[in-house]
Amino acid sequence: MIKPHGSDTYHPLYVMDDAERAALAKEAEGLPAITVCSAAAGNAVMLGGGYFNPLPGYMKKADVLGVAKEMKTTSGLFWPTPVVNMVEDASAIKDAKQIALKDPNVDGNPILAVQEVEAIEEYSDDEMKMICEKVYGTLDEKHPGVAAFMSVGKVGIAGPIKVLNFSYFEKDFPGTFRTAYSIREEIEKRGWKKTVAFQTRNPMHRAHEELCRMAHKDLEADGILIHMLLGKLKKGDIPADVRDNCIRTMVDNYFPKNTVMVTGYGFDMLYAGPREAVLHAVFRQNCGCTHLIVGRDHAGVGDYYGPFDAQKIFHDQVPEGALELKIYEADHTAWSKKLNKVIMMRDAPDHTKEDFILLSGTKVREMLGNGEAPPPEFSRPECATILMNYYQSIDK
């Protein structure tokens, strides 16, 4: 099986032993505590689940700045985005050696993890700006990732963590949320030697469905991991439970049995385009996947990135050998009226835009909100019904 990223052995930070976890949870009740921001909570969930192997916890400033500038920690580990616990004010825990991290996303703010405090470091305005420019490619605070990063404070609390639970994800998405280590075990159990991952924060339409099929066929893969983000999104994105229902309905009806795993991970979307695509590659390798589909506008938002910047970064900025996982580069896919099937646009040089069925996200939302299903060449009717019901419920 493909090695985990950055280490020969695998180090999820969830405390797996029941007795040890119960003892630590009890001890944590007596520790100085802070309620972390949603992004830091998501980082804890990813660290606990083995997605961010081999990181031991939240990064020190020197590592954060190295990751932002060169995608490299001070130890030389390849890593594309900062993994931080940022706060506005750390004075309440300034002398603490160990602290309890409380969950901002669950009622009552239960303890999510215990952190050793290795360093409390303030970031200058210039350092915060540099991080945004390098990671998000912009300082525009209309960018949802920049807005989120700049809003949570400039003080970083660094140090290793032990994770006690997976926040709301296990309870709210019991059939979908999976840790990287459980996905890895499942892939091994199924005997899949070659697994291609598909990242999504949206419902899957026909183009996405066929893209998974194309990659599966072209790579001669044994299986497909459809891996959806379950954490916080920007306003207007479709909620995770609706997406989950759509994707499972599509897989159950249109894919052969035992060729697809539908799972999700607990993390807030960064909308960091190319850098986030590299992060997706890192943690899909930790899941046991050998390939990741990277298509048009992967992990992007608005017009901040070029349509294929998320592919270019793997050629231009990811060092040879930094990742074992390989990228499957996809073009825009759409239904060809000439060929009566979904194809990649690059494979049809004789086609014009008029030869494809192309609908904007705004148009699709408008149709669904009006109770009008998109054409079956664009969206499976079963999925369109789920989405129509959702949009009509919020438009009432």
DSSP 296-344: TTTT--TTSS-TTHHHHHHHHTS-TTS-SSEEEE---EEEETTTTEEEE
User: Which residues are identified as catalytic?
Assistant: 201-202
* CA-closest candidate to residue 247, choices 183, 204, 207: 204
Q: How far apart are the first and last CA of the chain?
A: 50
Angle subtended at Cα 127 by Cα 121 and Cα 133, rounded to the nearest 5 degrees: 140
Structure tokens at 174: 């019991």
Which residue stretches of the chain are H helix? Answer: 18-28, 38-48, 61-70, 125-136, 144-150, 169-172, 180-190, 206-218, 240-254, 274-287, 309-316, 361-369, 381-395
- Please state, as a whole number, how many other Cβ atoms lie within 10 Å of the Cβ of residue 50: 23
* Cβ–Cβ under 8 Å, residues 144 and 234: yes
